[in-house]
Amino acid sequence: MLQSIFGNSFDYHAWVVLPLIIFFSRICDVSLGTIRHVFISKGFRKIVPLLGFFEVLIWIIVVAQVMKNLNNWACYLAWAGGFATGTFVGLWIEERLALGLQVIRIITNQDCEELLLALKRGNHGMTVVDAQGAVGPVKMIFTIIQRKNVKEVAMLIRKYNPTAFYSIEEIKNTSQGVFTENSKSGLSSIRKMFRASKGK
């Protein structure tokens, strides 16, 4: 089809192959960059330089190809499209990995014994504090869990204390504590190697 439009002089390499190479290369290097920033925020310091090496290596190769084809607008579109797609792919990968820990704060003025028992059965460490709310006494429950377990704990809250208020926040490091075993995660060995600190 392209030959019928542009004739036999159409350069497939310059207008099809090269932009595709640039597009997918940008997806790779931007994805690595996104994951690298996430790993920095999570405290995975040892793996970050390795990711940075491959990120910059791919980037400089792609830049060299673009500089050789400054008159090719398809390369510019591939560069921008690869950047946008790479950002999305990097965030998707990070979400699937579910790295790091989060703290859940639960505030309830209802009986929470069943919720506490359910958290204990799941081996989720917790701290319970008596507090005073706007309309009377409340219980504050603090638990630090792995990100992959957030949905599980949220389901327990909705099941046993559906009217409870809860918030979820990221945390970077912990020291001591009780955490759910990560036996089902393929990242357990990576976390042992690269986590800045680990609960015991």
Is the CB of residue 110 less than 8 Å from the CB of residue 161?
yes
What pLDDT is stored for residue 78 in this prediction? 95
Residue 153 corresponds to which tokens in the numbers above? Answer: 């704990």
Is the CB of residue 36 less than 8 Å from the CB of residue 49?
no
- Cβ neighbours around 195 below 10 Å, total: 19
Residue 140 corresponds to which tokens in the numbers above? Answer: 């504050």
DSSP state of 137: E
pLDDT per residue rounded down to tens, the chain (200 residues) = 445 445 567 778 888 999 999 999 999 999 999 999 988 887 778 889 999 999 999 999 999 988 988 889 999 999 999 999 999 999 999 888 887 888 999 999 999 999 999 999 988 889 999 999 888 999 999 999 888 889 999 999 999 999 999 999 988 666 666 666 553 443 444 444 444 444 43
Confidence (pTM)? 0.66
Per-domain boundaries in the chain: 2-97, 101-194
Which class would CATH give 101-194? alpha beta
What pLDDT is stored for residue 8 in this prediction? 61
What pLDDT is stored for residue 52 in this prediction? 94
Q: What are phi and psi of 25, to 5 degrees?
A: -65, -40
Helices 150-160 and 113-121, interaxial angle, to 10°? 150
